Amino acid sequence: MAQPPVIRVPKPARSSYQPNRPLSKSSLLQSQVKHFRDLEKDLPPERQTGIPIDSITTEGPAAEYIRRMTVQLHRPPGGV
């Protein structure tokens, strides 16, 4: 069986991530935060982040919230 081609993805420019950029400037991040919050509501309390999404106003906290939720969603059910 032939190997699939390797697709190289360039690293984003350092200026792409601006932790102090207002969340209002990125509808993608706003949607991701809201989507993860909807998922978080169904997690057991011990797996929820405890981060109120109203407190997420810039890209830095949004990235941290998304990271923490991704960790929780990749854990097997019953894993803490």
The structural domains of the chain, with segments of one domain joined by +, span: 19-74
DSSP secondary structure letters along the chain: -PPPPP---PPPPGGG--TTSBGGG-HHHHHHHHHHHHHHTTS-GGGS----GGG--BHHHHHHHHHHHHHHHHSPTT--
d(CA 80, CA 68): 13
Instruction: For the chain, give the number of residues.
Output: 80
Give the predicted TM-score (pTM) of the model.
0.79
> What are the pLDDT digits (tens) for 10-68?
998 988 889 999 999 999 999 999 999 999 999 999 999 999 999 999 999 999 999 99
pLDDT given for residue 16 in this prediction: 87
